[in-house]
A and B are shown apart, each in its own frame.
Chain A
Amino acid sequence: MIDIDNVTKQFGEGAAAVQALRRVSLTIPEASFFTLLGPSGCGKTTLLRLIAGFELPTGGDIRLDGQSIGHLPPHHRPVNTVFQSYALFPHMTVARNIGFGLEMQGRKPSDVAATVNKMLTLVRMEEYAARRVDQLSGGQQQRVALARALAPHPKVLLLDEPLSALDLKLRKQMQGELKRLQAETGITFVFVTHDQGEALAMSDQIAVMSAGEVQQVGSPEAIYTRPRSAFVADFIGDTNIVPATLLRYEGGRAVIRFAQGPELCANAASDALAAGPVQVALRPETITLTDAADPAALMCGTVAESTYQGAATQLTVRLETGPEIRVEVTDPPSPGARVGIACDAAMLQVLAD
């Protein structure tokens, strides 16, 4: 288990100072697949480098299984990294690359050889043991980098956008492979990506970051269906953010009303919002279209645009109150038609900010 406790990281001094991380606190559970997700520059790599020991925190502490490791140099931490650029040693064979960590730990040559063979099997690279790494394809280098980092059996494996250099097909295949390796080895994986699809598909838990802060931590489902803020809702998947009025709380749920239609009991990201205008997240695929005069319709508008996408059709509906929202349906009405928007109240999420 990794405890990131109030960690702050500042680069530079004075006017040129950059606050890369601001009071980040996270608990990464043992043997889980944990993903750091966020837009470019939000501090994902910085947090990973702090865990690896390439950088020291400006404030706060990092603990591994209760022991403080924030101040240790990288070679004294039971943590290994898969680098985005792979950083394989070009003067060594595949086997020696994989065995490097074990050799540096001073293991017996026979141990090293045995573990290297096991790792080669694990990443399905048995035939390539004697190859030079510059004679491998991108996907193969990726596997070697993985095997090299896994060989010393670290407590934590850090992966900084390891799939970003691969093409789509290989990427999908490696996603499955990574999941399998994590389950087989039982090592905690901390995975960095800015691809929300990848994060949803692979993670046990996701931490969404923005501008050096953690916005929300939770399971992929929780993050997707119960985003806390407009930022998270917008960053994960396609979403509509629609204004509504908060009337009161009832049994932990928020009672809201849209421009028209009945009062609804929606999920709320916070139970301490003041009654009045709020923002509600509404996923395009949870919306159903009805007649504009239907009493169940929460709002109504006209179809402005229709884009055929194969399995579904995406519509843009201009609401009578002004904003546009996106809707995904299988039997689209023609553009210009007046429609009512309906939605299961359980799919609505009142955002905290």
Chain B
Amino acid sequence: MAAPGDIPQAGPALQRAQRDRARRRKRMRWGLLAPALVVIGIFGLAPLSIALVYSFLEPGTYGGVTWAFSPEAYVQFLFQRDIFDDTLGFNGAYLRIFGRSFGLALITMVGTLVLGFPVAYFIAARPEQQRNLWLFAVTLPFWTNLLIRTYSMMLIVRDEGFLNGALIWAGVINRPLSIIYTDGAVLLGLVYSYLPFMILPIYASLEKFDFRLLEAAHDLYASRVQMMRHVALPLTRPGIVAGCALVLIPALGAYITPELLGGGKKLMIGNMIALQFGSGRNWPFGSAAALILMSIVLIALLVSLRSGAKPEARHG
């Protein structure tokens, strides 16, 4: 009988075999990961690194960059250099653009959530055979280019468009409402284009949702509103968080919609960044603005993910 702690040792041949196997497994793991790492490296990290490097260089006169280190792009984001004495004065113009963009993106997010949740709920509550048809209807707009859809939206909301035409015909108004080229038009366009991104992830979590739980809650004296608040919403929260992220992030960087429906009058971040690489000829500033935007989004995302991971956060 073996004494306690007396673990039988593997023989030398077995030890060698174990070491070989471990080495082979490690080699295989890296081999399998390699294609993904290459793709992430080329399409993710490389452009980001270029942007990061460019943001610390000086702008070239005709676009591009001059290879001299300068933090000017980041300074320019908040301050304005006086032309005469070179002193720095605070400049809120870019912050305002960021603020406006965030405001519009947040309203877009809330709008798509308010419209999208009932739609997703409706689809998930259909009999199984019907659901794919409804989902197809939701994804149908993706078959058409966003640019074309945005132009169609312009046709609808412009002064002589369908909307005003219909309202005048119905006698609700007698002069066309000026909708196009306002924040309202931009919002309308954003909500319209991003709605499917909200519906689909919420539907995905509602599809897994056990509707019998609602019956149980109803039986336990919950009203319809309470059923939603205490059972349906918390259990579909991952879908809601995902939907919000999928709408908020691209809405922040939206380019086509504010350009066309907003008439390019009031800038959103996307347009501002595009401008720096175009007629603004300030590539470092464009890069810096893009990176600042990315950092803000990243932090917001981490915070929301952390709160999304704790379903039982406040209840004791």
Contact = CB atoms under 8 A, between A and B. Distances in A.
Given A91-B234, A91-B235, A152 B220 contact: yes
A89 B218 contact: no
Contacts of B315: 92-93, 96
B311 A91 contact: yes
Given A91-B312, A92-B315, A80 B220 contact: yes
A73 interface: yes
B231 interface: yes
Nearest to B231: A89
A156 to B, nearest CB: 12
A85 interface: yes
B156 interface: no
A231 interface: no
Given A87-B213, A91-B235, A81 B311 contact: no
Contacts of A333: none
A92 B311 CA distance: 9
B174 to A, nearest CB: 47
B297 interface: no
Contacts of B312: 91-93, 132
A76 to B, nearest CB: 8
Interface in B196-222: 210, 212-213, 215-222
A197 to B, nearest CB: 28
Interface stretch (A100-108, A163-171, A200-208, A299-307): A100-108
B221 A104 contact: yes
A74 B218 contact: yes
Contacts, number: 65
Nearest to B311: A91
Contacts of A81: 216, 219
A73 B222 CA distance: 11
Contacts of A199: none
In the A-B complex, list the 7 residue pairs whose CB atoms are closest, starting with the nearest. Answer: A101-B220, A87-B216, A104-B221, A104-B222, A74-B218, A75-B221, A91-B311
A225 B8 CA distance: 69
Interface residues of A, number: 27
Nearest to B223: A75
A192 interface: no
B139 interface: no
A92 B213 CA distance: 12
A96 B220 CA distance: 12
B219 A75 contact: yes
A52 interface: yes
24 contacts: A52-B219, A54-B218, A74-B218, A74-B219, A75-B220, A75-B221, A81-B216, A83-B212, A83-B215, A83-B216, A85-B210, A88-B216, A89-B217, A89-B231, A91-B234, A91-B235, A91-B311, A93-B312, A93-B315, A100-B220, A101-B220, A104-B230, A105-B221, A149-B220
Contacts of B235: 90-91
B221 to A, nearest CB: 4
Given A91-B235, A91-B311, A96-B315, A85 B222 contact: no
A218 B210 CA distance: 37
A90 B315 CA distance: 14
B240 to A, nearest CB: 13
A148 interface: yes
Nearest to A106: B221
A29 B139 CA distance: 56
Interface of A: 52-54, 73-75, 79-81, 83, 85, 87-93, 96, 100-101, 104-105, 132, 148-149, 152
Contacts of A93: 312, 315
B165 to A, nearest CB: 42
Contacts of A92: 312, 315
Contacts of A104: 217, 220-223, 226, 230
A96 B164 CA distance: 53
Nearest to A148: B220
B213 A75 contact: no
Contacts of B230: 100, 104
Contacts of A54: 215, 218-219
Contacts of A73: 218
Contacts of B222: 75, 100, 104
A132 B226 CA distance: 21
Given A87-B210, A89-B231, A152 B221 contact: yes
A96 B234 CA distance: 14
Which of B212, B219, B221, B223 counts the most chain A CB atoms within 10 A?
Answer: B219
A100 B219 CA distance: 11
A53 B212 CA distance: 14
Given A91-B312, A92-B312, A104-B217, 4 more contacts: A91-B311, A93-B312, A93-B315, A104-B230
A137 to B, nearest CB: 19
Which of B217, B223, B311 counts the most chain A CB atoms within 10 A?
Answer: B217
Contacts of A101: 220-221
A284 B222 CA distance: 51
A54 B217 CA distance: 12
Which of A89, A101, A105 counts the most chain B CB atoms within 10 A?
Answer: A89
A132 B315 CA distance: 13
A301 B226 CA distance: 69
A79 B221 CA distance: 10
A148 B219 CA distance: 11
Nearest to A100: B220
A104 B217 CA distance: 9
B212 A85 contact: yes
A302 to B, nearest CB: 55
Interface in B156-185: none
Contacts of B215: 54, 74, 83, 87
A22 B230 CA distance: 37
A245 to B, nearest CB: 53
